[in-house]
Amino acid sequence: MGVSTSRPEKGVAVVTVDFPPVNALPVRGWYELADALRAAGRQKEVSCVVLTAPAASRGFNAGVDLKELQRESADGGGHVALIGANSGCAEAFAAVYECEVPVVAAVAGFCLGGGIGLVGNADAVVAAEDAVFGLPELDRGALGAATHLSRLVPQHLMRALYYTSRTVTAQELHHHGSVWKVVPRERLHTAARELAREIALKDGGLLRLAKAALNGIDPVDVRRSYRYEQGFTFEAGLSGTAERVRSGFGRSGREGEEGTR
């Protein structure tokens, strides 16, 4: 359990995130992920990174582990976990975007909250047919990652999805051009590595320059934009609004995705 890195073939590193049961990450998990992505990108023999979850995982990422925040609140521990989660998410999202080489996200099952932050900052996305993407923030007492959802869907659709907490399918994102390929779940990791292998055949030094150049012409500073959003998450937390909404979610009995951000 945790974050691991493997080198299945020349030029390709695979960073796998495994926090059962739903891949909702604790504070330490976000920092571990950021460290793994930056370390992989620094290796000169790596020309592309695949970011994924285990094949048997229920989903790619369910965001922040809300139970960690709720435990702190119940213990009267202040806002240490909230600050840690916000900072950890910011570091992990930035590590995808700032990785020295292209990052391919391989997504199966649900990709929610923090998962959108990771995928929205990736260079390419390969998705399984069962993949769904969304920001259930307003149902979970938080805000954030609209910056990254805006990189996956058009502006008005982003707003409607954000306000309703609805999800979109991999096929819909493929239609919008933000998913490279949609494949059966059993072919996901193969398809993602095929794309990574094709990228990794390019000159490694030139790929690093290309990544820096593309980031440099981006119209939105994703790190600054996301940190601006997080200010409103802090406001919701300090005002008690977030805890009130999270408590209602915890009593709702809804099965499955317990994360956000």
* Both tokens assigned to 192: 């993602």
Q: Which CATH number fits domain 2-186+211-251: 3.90.226.10, 3.40.47.10, 3.20.20.30, 3.40.50.300?
A: 3.90.226.10
Q: CB under 8 Å to 113, separation ≥6 — which residues?
A: 61, 62, 63, 64, 135, 136, 137, 140, 142, 145, 259, 260, 261
CB of 139 closer than 8 Å to CB of 165: yes
Residue 37's pLDDT is what?
Answer: 98
The C-alpha atoms of residue 123 and residue 101 are separated, in whole angstroms, by 9
Which residues are CB-contacts of 257 (< 8 A; sequence separation ≥ 6)?
A: 22, 24, 59, 62, 63, 110, 112, 136
Which tokens sit at 234?
């802090």
Q: What is the pLDDT of residue 142?
A: 85
Report domain extents, the chain.
2-186+211-251
What pLDDT score was predicted for residue 255? 36
Strands 12-18 and 2-9, sheet pairing: antiparallel
pLDDT in tens, the chain (261 residues): 899 999 999 999 999 999 999 999 999 999 999 999 999 999 999 999 999 999 999 999 999 987 887 776 666 656 787 888 899 999 999 999 999 999 999 999 999 999 999 999 999 999 999 999 999 999 988 899 999 999 999 999 999 999 999 999 999 999 999 999 999 999 999 999 999 999 999 999 999 999 999 999 999 999 999 999 999 988 888 888 988 887 776 554 443 444 544
